Amino acid sequence: MDIIIRNYEGTREEILSDVGKGSFSRKIEENQSYELNFDVTQTERNKVAFELVQHESSILFDGQEFIIKQMSTNANGKSIVKNVTATHIYACMQDGHQYDTVTGRRSIDQLLTHVFKPDNRGYTWEVIDPEEKFSTVEQENFGRDNYLKLVQEIIEDYDATMIVDNKHLMFYPRGGYGKKINEPIRYKYNTDSVGFDIDTLSLKTQIKGFPKKDDDDKYVFDPITYTSPEAEKWGIRIQDPVEDGRYTVKKNLEERLKKELNDIPDISGGVSLKFKSNIKIFDYVPFIYEPLNINTYIQVVGITDYPFLPNEPSELTLSNTKKTMTSILTGLVKKGVL
């Protein structure tokens, strides 16, 4: 894969050679950051391209555009080295501002339409919700902020995952993107470095669902109570009910309750694998933790990989909890990039 450098004006473009292969990393965290980090040394071969490595220049890599936001230049004898952090172009949403506000119940689609009008600055978006999990949310004076912060609010309010493809934004219900794979994460098996937070505060084992009402204000079928098999271990812990007038088929509501019930502990943490794997961001992997007798699928919500080191394993962030969402996009702000 080539690394392309393009100047801010978009008038010059070169292949960037002599990048330190060991220094080149790509870091993706769900709804939080997407960046490249690398060092490049000036040589006779990359003399022209090296001059293009400046703040606000673009790095084109693996089909995505990144903007150089942080850079330092160091001299070591006759060698000049630039240390670069380039942030994915989606974060440049911060340069747009919506001055108008809206109040009242709004869908995620309605709020995104509000954010990106009248000037979308080249950004496009779509909401992908085949099971109609997104509901409307009461908003008060939503707006009057930059696009990035407003999108952050939307992701928090609607519990969404944002997938980016350059300036195209795709919004899925959290957990609705990714596939299950058969590569387990297990201490002492494929990792010796593991750190997890396991939280049972929100653990629930029973939930009740209320279906649609007919014209006589009666339910079309009796409300359903679902009790998880985990109740044998943890006892009866009641979750807030599901009240959704769309349900007229009992089986469909039962399936919704099973998916909605938070009947395993919230788990979040990170691992460094001992060897290379095929695990990708948003994959669901088996997580085995014997002390709490946990054997469940958990999602990869962050990954740091080293594209030019074929034998270097990735570092993973795993989570099955909404906790990951509470810090949406704040990583860039804390680092002073935004």
Distance of alpha carbon 60 from alpha carbon 5, whole angstroms: 6
Are 285 and 311 contained in the same domain? yes
Structure tokens at 332: 């860039």
Task: Over range 209-237, report the average pLDDT.
Answer: 93
- Structural domain includes residue 9: yes
Provide the domain count of the chain.
4
Are 196 and 304 contained in the same domain? yes
Domain end among 88, 107, 131:
88
CATH code, domain with 116: 3.55.50.40
Question: Residue 34 CA to chain centroid, in angstroms?
Answer: 9
Distance of alpha carbon 142 from alpha carbon 145, whole angstroms: 9
- Structural domain includes residue 133: yes
Are 253 and 278 contained in the same domain? no
Structure tokens at 210: 């209320």
Domain end among 62, 88, 114:
88
Model pTM score: 0.75
Are 128 and 84 contained in the same domain? no
Distance of alpha carbon 317 from alpha carbon 281, whole angstroms: 9
More confident residue, 148 or 136: 148
Task: Over range 135-159, report the average pLDDT.
Answer: 91
Are 133 and 52 contained in the same domain? no
Grouping H, G, I as helix, E, B as strand and the rest as coil, residue 164 is: strand
Domain end among 72, 88, 104:
88
Structure tokens at 196: 């997890």
Are 316 and 196 contained in the same domain? yes
Distance of alpha carbon 183 from alpha carbon 257, whole angstroms: 28
Are 137 and 252 contained in the same domain? no
Q: What is the pLDDT of residues 66-125, one digit of tens each?
A: 999 999 999 877 889 999 999 999 999 999 999 999 998 899 999 999 999 989 999 999
Query: Is 80 in contact with 74 (CB distance < 8 Å)?
Result: yes
- Structural domain includes residue 338: no
> Which segment, 234-238, 244-248, 262-266, 294-298, is predicted with the most confidence on average?
234-238
Neighbouring C-beta atoms of residue 180, cutoff 10 Å: 10
Are 189 and 152 contained in the same domain? no
Which structural domain, as residue segments, surrounds residue 314? 185-200+264-324
- Structural domain includes residue 286: yes
Are 21 and 71 contained in the same domain? yes
Predicted confidence band at 327 (pLDDT cuts at 50, 70, 90)? very low
Distance of alpha carbon 252 from alpha carbon 248, whole angstroms: 8
Q: In sequence order, what are the residues at sequence separation of 6 or more whose Cβ sits closer than 8 angstroms to the Cβ of residue 213?
A: 219, 220, 245
Are 100 and 167 contained in the same domain? yes
- Report in angstroms the alpha-carbon separations of 70 from 28, 35, 57: 17, 11, 11
